Structure 1
């Protein structure tokens, strides 16, 4: 199988989803879009992976979709729909991934690259990173799911600013806007992201995954409890992780949560 998207397993529960086409600044080919859900399925099934860090090889996150494929991909309406479906499968698969995800943004993070970063739960950026979404420069329309994730991150006014102009912005502006969660020096950002990922791996994975589901319900428009959400809360109270967390708090010791 192709190595253009790699799943790497680090110690202590951290997995890495690595975009691996550095000669093209990790421009995302159709093959890569189709590989992302495959790697995500592998990571979801691996109990040793508790949090997934998404990054690019060679100091660049991703310079966007591979423009060399555009002529063939957009040759007909059917080919366009198929290509768009492959992209949506990767974006939605990452957004719906059951475990916590962190985008490690270095160098360029543009177009579809920023779309992937927005599909992650959190984003850490190097201080010299450059980000942008450029359909306005190509005469394209940004898809609904991707637009929704952008609006959820930065609000409608900033989303319009970025999409209308296609301009690139630096990490400090992205932080103020809410596009990224943390900014660190280029030589420190990876360590910062991994240290934060380590905090997640030590917390309750049961809580983390249930929290993702709950937040996704809120983002999907749910405003009142249902029998399902009430049951999820009650199940947690009866669960092993809550019992362990409660006992650890009382005994003033680190909790030893069950992982999986």
Structure 2
């Protein structure tokens, strides 16, 4: 049995080892607002079903997830209120995924960019295969990365490498991602590796795993500063963001006032 959500853009295969598939291969599995909004309810369904492991993946070999659907930006970032609401949906989706009592695995093929990387970072394990690539690109669009996403990145790769990835927006291959800790496993087949890891996890005590996750998350979650969220939100109302996403849609290099050579 499978379930579809958000106009078919998400497909859930429930069971002891459940699989959530981002199903927009023609858009490189970019996340829409409706997809982000659906994830907390999907998590509730899986918790009620006492799912033992959740695998999150993208349809096809081209991309795990290319990030947020830039085609929606005129709508979701049209006003300060819409911006705050959309960012809340993204934040809630990733937080609910991170807080799932069962282990979660991101099975990564192809591009894992921006919000897609945030989605993968919210999982307990990231399993990729050769040909996968990773980039965190808000600076290219005139934006900051959210405090929660930035913390998740720092947690995995450390502050110096997080600064590198965020400030340059550069793409890295799967070998470098493994070397710096952005992914946990690099195998010839991400699907087989994720399935094998999931099978192993189902042999362990589920309540113990839930407790371990709760302890790890509790010890690794910073108190944070409320004003950092305001700093992040403010980037969505600036001229740099308007130039950044219009340049992306027009397939040109953005002009942020510096050298454009």
> Of the candidates 6, 10, 13, which is equivalent to residue 5 of structure 1?
10
Displacement of 1:126 in angstroms is 1.1
Please tell me whether residue 39 in structure 1 is matched to residue 48 in structure 2: no
- SS of the residue corresponding to residue 16 of structure 1 reads strand
What TM-score does the superposition give when structure 1 sets the normalisation length? 0.81
Question: Which segments of structure 1 move beyond 6 Å, counting only runs of 4 or more?
Answer: none
Determine if contact 2:127/2:183 at 8 Å carries over to the other structure: yes
Partner in structure 1 of residue 250 of structure 2: none
What TM-score does the superposition give when structure 2 sets the normalisation length? 0.81
Aligned mates of 1:6, 1:175 — CA distance in 2 = 28
- SS of the residue corresponding to residue 90 of structure 1 reads helix
Displacement of 1:83 in angstroms is 0.9
Aligned mates of 1:20, 1:221 — CA distance in 2 = 33
Question: What does the per-residue CA deviation read over 1:47-93, in whole Å, with 9 as the maximum and x for residues that have no partner?
Answer: 2x200001011222101100000111111111111111111111111
> Of the candidates 169, 172, 182, which is equivalent to residue 169 of structure 1?
172
Give the number of equivalent residue pairs: 217
Gaps of 5+ in 1: 223-260
Displacement of 1:21 in angstroms is 1.2
Displacement of 1:134 in angstroms is 0.3
* Bigger mean CA offset, 163-172 vs 37-46: 37-46
Aligned pairs for 1:17-166 (under 5 A) are: 17-47=20-50, 49-59=51-61, 60-166=63-169
- SS of the residue corresponding to residue 202 of structure 1 reads coil
Displacement of 1:203 in angstroms is 0.9
The CA RMSD measured in Å over matched residues stands at: 1.3
Larger Rg: 1
